[in-house]
Structure 1
Amino acid sequence: MEIRELQWFATLAEHEHVTLAAERLNISQPTLSRAVRRLEQRVGVRLFDRHQNRLRLNKYGEVFRAHALRAIAEIEAAEQRIATLVDPDAGTVALGFLHSYGTWLVPELLAGYRTIAPRTTFELRGNAADTVVDDVRHGRLDLGLTSPRPTGDDLTWTPLRDEPLCLLVPFGHRLAERRQVRTAELADETFVALQPVFGLRQIADRLCAASGFTPRIALESTELSTLRSLVEAGLGVAIVPITGSPTEGRGPVTAVPLGDRGALRTVGMISSPTGTRPPVVHRFFDHVRSTAHAPYA
């Protein structure tokens, strides 16, 4: 049974006239009549009652038409879904990212991409680095923007740009007027920091370890905005990305650039090297990769 024969049957059932249906379908009357006879032979009953030059759908035909219409609708829906997957300008990209990237990097990338592929939609999920990595690894996300580079070799890592880090201090702090500070000078400071599952916390811990001390963490948070408020309240200093941090003026908090080599977090895109990447995901991936090494905002 061919799908086109079901479509022909549905048209004939609508018009109940072979000549009109054949004209509508742009096929010959004998071709349409033979197709209907094949369907009737397959199901074992007549689907139409014949009345001279007219046809009338009988009770068996009514049952068959209901199922035929559902079958046609399912095939059309499948074709539409496949076309969406094949079309690199359409479809949905499931993109994960660190919460802090949601305030600048993600809007920047999507705004640029929307100008060339406005029909692409995105499912956006901000989360901790470990969660983003796990979701990409298990196929719950197509791509992930994260830092630092995940351990293991089961994911593809594409570095995009380096984001310098700074020390966030409250007004009046002894280092607030400095043009630069090294991590080794912070051994006696009290820190506020993200929880250990966050990539930024892992980078900050490594900087401190390389300088010969373990940071004294007074409070932990899950949001950079909360860290800023904690620093403003005088509860500690924080190592944060310089993006969006106040580096000028005498506000409630000041960002002092870190002078250590490696005092940065590399923004990277992760993806699974296994499986078939849909064209819509592949095209967005190529676009993001083309922005690699652009200066941070």
Structure 2
Amino acid sequence: MEIRELQWFAALAESQHVTAAAERLNISQPTLSRAIARLERRVGVPLFDRHQNRLRLNKYGEVFRAHALRAIGEIDGAEQRIASLVDPDRGTVALGFLHSYGTWLVPGLLAGYRAIAPATRFELRGAAADTVVDDVRRGRLDLGLTSPRPAGDDLDWTPLQQEPLCLLVPTGHRLARRRAVEAAELADEDFLALQPVYGLRQVADRLCAGAGYAPRVIMECTELSTLRELVAAGLGVAVVPIKGSPSGTGDRAVAVPLKDPQAQRTIGLINPLGGPRAAAVVRFYDYVRSTAHASDV
């Protein structure tokens, strides 16, 4: 059984039309039909139900497709790992990060890195902190940029820099003209926040807990841009990163610095315990670590 036949089968299973699949694969219809017939003879059952010119994947075909896709993925992964060992500049790095880092931190890192390794490919995934951590643990991501430091001892953590936080308030708010505020002054405020799985929410909750209260969160969302717009609409206040605040809200919201020493989050790099193995990942990993505490990252 050849890998290309599995790839042809996967393409036909997706389109369920011999003509369309053959055109997409740039092969003749008879060649594709013979390849599928060979696969069916090998497994001993038909993989498609035939209906005139169209095919429909049957229950045997569904099982075979699941395994074929895994086999194709394994071969592709092996080729990429071997290629990265031969030439670390040409490997692939799967990098996860908090959504908010996609607006400044990640572009800056990648722009700097591509200047020295332009052939490296990146698979970028923005997500909540818990998702980034879980994907690194499960091997879906090579590296992750997250905050706060994950619990447990199964990941390596490299702190990179401190990111200051501020209080975002509507322009008409009683604190809008203040030069700075303390978290203790906010106990009676209505808070708007990201959901608890997000690192920023966890840091903000700890900030309030350190001031002796639990924040009265009246609305939760999943994006910083939405959070800022909710504040601008006058619905409450929010703890947000200083970078980008009040992004997109014009003169409807004001960012007020927080005096508390805890009003910051540590940006860190995570990877599986023992460090990355693929050469391309190791090189990028070393580059990111070298930027720790750099003001322009």
Cα distance in structure 1, aligned partners of 2:243 and 2:288: 19
State whether residues 147 and 266 of structure 2, in contact with CA within 8 Å, keep that contact through their aligned partners in structure 1: yes
Match of 1:89, SS state, is helix
Q: Which is further off, 260-269 or 287-296?
A: 287-296
1:112 is matched with: 112
Cα distance in structure 2, aligned partners of 1:144 and 1:203: 18
* Greater C-alpha radius of gyration: 1
1:47 is matched with: none
Matched, 1:204 2:219: no
2:48 is matched with: none
Letter in 1 for 2:277: R
State whether residues 161 and 296 of structure 1, in contact with CA within 8 Å, keep that contact through their aligned partners in structure 2: no
Letter in 1 for 2:278: P
Any idea what the Cα deviations from partners look like across 1:93-126, whole Å, max 9, x if unmatched? 0000000001110101000000000000100000
Cα distance in structure 2, aligned partners of 1:80 and 1:152: 30
1:140 is matched with: 140
Cα distance in structure 2, aligned partners of 1:100 and 1:266: 14
State whether residues 86 and 278 of structure 1, in contact with CA within 8 Å, keep that contact through their aligned partners in structure 2: no
2:66 is matched with: none
State whether residues 161 and 293 of structure 1, in contact with CA within 8 Å, keep that contact through their aligned partners in structure 2: yes
Letter in 2 for 1:224: L
State whether residues 163 and 296 of structure 1, in contact with CA within 8 Å, keep that contact through their aligned partners in structure 2: no
Matched, 1:271 2:271: yes
Deviation at 1:78, TM superposition (A): 7.3
Specify every segment of 5 or more residues in structure 1 that has no aligned partner in the other structure, as ranges.
Answer: 1-76
State whether residues 136 and 271 of structure 1, in contact with CA within 8 Å, keep that contact through their aligned partners in structure 2: yes
Cα distance in structure 2, aligned partners of 1:204 and 1:275: 30
Match of 1:152, SS state, is coil
Cα distance in structure 2, aligned partners of 1:80 and 1:241: 37
Cα distance in structure 2, aligned partners of 1:108 and 1:271: 20
Any idea what the Cα deviations from partners look like across 1:141-193, whole Å, max 9, x if unmatched? 00000000001110000000100000000011111111110000000100000
Q: Which is further off, 271-280 or 181-190?
A: 271-280
Are the structure 2 counterparts of residues 78 and 280 from structure 1 closer, same or farther at C-alpha, using a change threshold of 3 Å? closer
Matched, 1:283 2:295: no
1:127 is matched with: 127
Deviation at 1:128, TM superposition (A): 0.4
Structure 1 length as normaliser, TM-score?
A: 0.71
Cα distance in structure 2, aligned partners of 1:154 and 1:223: 28
1:226 is matched with: 226
Cα distance in structure 1, aligned partners of 2:130 and 2:163: 19
Cα distance in structure 2, aligned partners of 1:136 and 1:85: 21
State whether residues 167 and 258 of structure 2, in contact with CA within 8 Å, keep that contact through their aligned partners in structure 1: yes
Cα distance in structure 1, aligned partners of 2:123 and 2:251: 37
Letter in 2 for 1:215: P
Cα distance in structure 1, aligned partners of 2:284 and 2:276: 15
Are the structure 2 counterparts of residues 185 and 250 from structure 1 closer, same or farther at C-alpha, using a change threshold of 3 Å? farther
Letter in 2 for 1:97: F
Matched, 1:240 2:236: no
Deviation at 1:275, TM superposition (A): 7.3
Cα distance in structure 2, aligned partners of 1:198 and 1:237: 17
Cα distance in structure 1, aligned partners of 2:190 and 2:201: 15
Match of 2:280, SS state, is helix
Cα distance in structure 1, aligned partners of 2:197 and 2:80: 41
Deviation at 1:278, TM superposition (A): 0.5
Are the structure 2 counterparts of residues 205 and 275 from structure 1 closer, same or farther at C-alpha, using a change threshold of 3 Å? closer
1:183-198 correspondence to structure 2 within 5 Å: 183-198=183-198
Match of 1:168, SS state, is strand
State whether residues 243 and 296 of structure 1, in contact with CA within 8 Å, keep that contact through their aligned partners in structure 2: no
Are the structure 2 counterparts of residues 89 and 263 from structure 1 closer, same or farther at C-alpha, using a change threshold of 3 Å? same
Cα distance in structure 2, aligned partners of 1:175 and 1:78: 57
Matched-pair identity in %? 72
State whether residues 147 and 267 of structure 1, in contact with CA within 8 Å, keep that contact through their aligned partners in structure 2: yes
Any idea what the Cα deviations from partners look like across 1:225-258, whole Å, max 9, x if unmatched? 00000001111100000011149x9811110011
Cα distance in structure 2, aligned partners of 1:95 and 1:286: 14
Cα distance in structure 2, aligned partners of 1:143 and 1:125: 11
Match of 1:111, SS state, is helix
2:22 is matched with: none
2:31 is matched with: none
Match of 2:230, SS state, is helix
Cα distance in structure 1, aligned partners of 2:220 and 2:254: 20
Letter in 1 for 2:283: R
State whether residues 168 and 228 of structure 1, in contact with CA within 8 Å, keep that contact through their aligned partners in structure 2: yes
State whether residues 156 and 274 of structure 2, in contact with CA within 8 Å, keep that contact through their aligned partners in structure 1: no
Letter in 2 for 1:106: V
Cα distance in structure 1, aligned partners of 2:79 and 2:172: 65
